[in-house]
Structure 1
Amino acid sequence: MTEKKYIVALDQGTTSSRAVVMDHDANIVSVSQREFEQIYPKPGWVEHDPMEIWASQSSTLVEVLAKADISSDQIAAIGITNQRETAIVWERETGKPIYNAIVWQCRRTADICEQLKRDGMEDYIRDNTGLVVDPYFSGTKVKWILDHVEGSRERAKRGELLFGTVDTWLIWKMTQGRVHVTD
C-alpha cells in the first residue's frame, strides 16, 4: 500500500486557479497556477465560464502532481478554497452548465435585492440565514438564472438542475457527478 503523505490545496480564485502540494510537515512541494477569462457582458456584471473554471483547476491539479513526481494515491487529503458566492447552475444528467457562473462581484441582482427590502423580507432573511440582503450572496443569483434562462425554473422543479458555489461544482466534477455537497 502506498503511503499517503501529501496534502493538496486547490485555490479556485476570482482570476485564476491554483494547486499546491504540501508534504506532511506543510512544506510546499510544488505549485501550479492558471488564469482564466473574465466576462463582462454589461456594466456591473461579471461572469465566468464554469467549464473554463473546471479546465483551469483540473489542469493545475494534474500539473502540480507531475511537478512533485507523485501519484494521486499518495494524497492524504484535498482542501478547497474558492471564490465563495459565485453561483453555478448545471444539468444533473449531463453536467452542462445552463448559464455562465455569476461571480460574487456581479451587481445584476441589485433590483431583486431592493424589491426584497421593499417587501419587508430583510429581517426574515437575516434571521433565517444570518446574511444581509445583498447581490454578493448566491440566492438572488439563482433567482436571476431561473427567471432569465428559458425553461430553467420548470427544469429545477422537476429536479433536473443542480446549484452550487464553486466548491460544490469542483467536488461534483471531481467525483464525476456522484457527490453534490458544500460546506
Structure 2
Amino acid sequence: MTYAIIGSGSVGRALASQFDRSGITVGVANSRGRDAAAAALAGLGNAVCPLGLKEALAADVVILAIPFRAHLEVAKAAADWEGKIVIDVTNAYGVPLSDLGNEPSSAVVAKSMPDAHLVKAFNHLPAHLLGEDPRTAAGRRVIFLSGDDDQAVSTVSDIVHRLGFAPINLGRIAEGGRLVQAQDRSWAPLIFQDLFKAEA
C-alpha cells in the first residue's frame, strides 16, 4: 500500500515526520511543485519523498493536510478516485454552514471525490502536537477516526497504530464524527483534546 500527503505546511510536515520516525515511506506534494515540497521537507529522512501533485494522487491512501477550501482543486486534479482511501485532515472553521449544506465538512469533501472511501482523522490536534513522539509515559496519544466505510476505517486505524498513536473510532461521519467537525465559528467538543491511552 502506498501513501501520500497533500500539503507540506505545518500539519503536512508533522505527519510526514511521523511516517519518517516509523520508517514508512510516504510521498508529499503541494500546489507549488516538487521543488517547493522538497524545500518544505528539508531535514526529514529518506522515508519522505517529495512528489508532484499528480504523482501523489496515484497513491492508494491520500492524506489531505490542506486548508478546507483547497480540497476542490485537489479533487479536480485526480482523474479517478475509485477505490482510494482519503484521510481528511481539513478543518472547516469559519466556513458558513450554508456553504456546507448543513452537512459535516467531511461529507462535503467526500462528495467531491466520487467513489473514494473517506475517513476523518488527525484533524483534532495542532501541528506541534502531531509532530511529537506519540508514545509517552502516559501512553499513546489518541487520534480520533470517523468514516462511513468500515473497511477504510479499519485500514486507517492500522496506519494510525503503525505511526505510534492510539486510534479511537467515533463511528459514522454524520454521528460521532461531528465531535471533531468544526462548524462555522465553533470548534467541535473533541478538537484540541490531547488525550492518551495507556498501554495494555
User: Of Structure 1 and Structure 2, which has the larger fraction of its residues in strand?
Assistant: 1
Fold conserved (TM > 0.5)? Answer: no
Q: TM-score range by the shorter chain?
A: under 0.3
Q: What's the TM-score once normalised by structure 2's chain length?
A: 0.25
Q: TM-score, normalised by structure 1?
A: 0.26
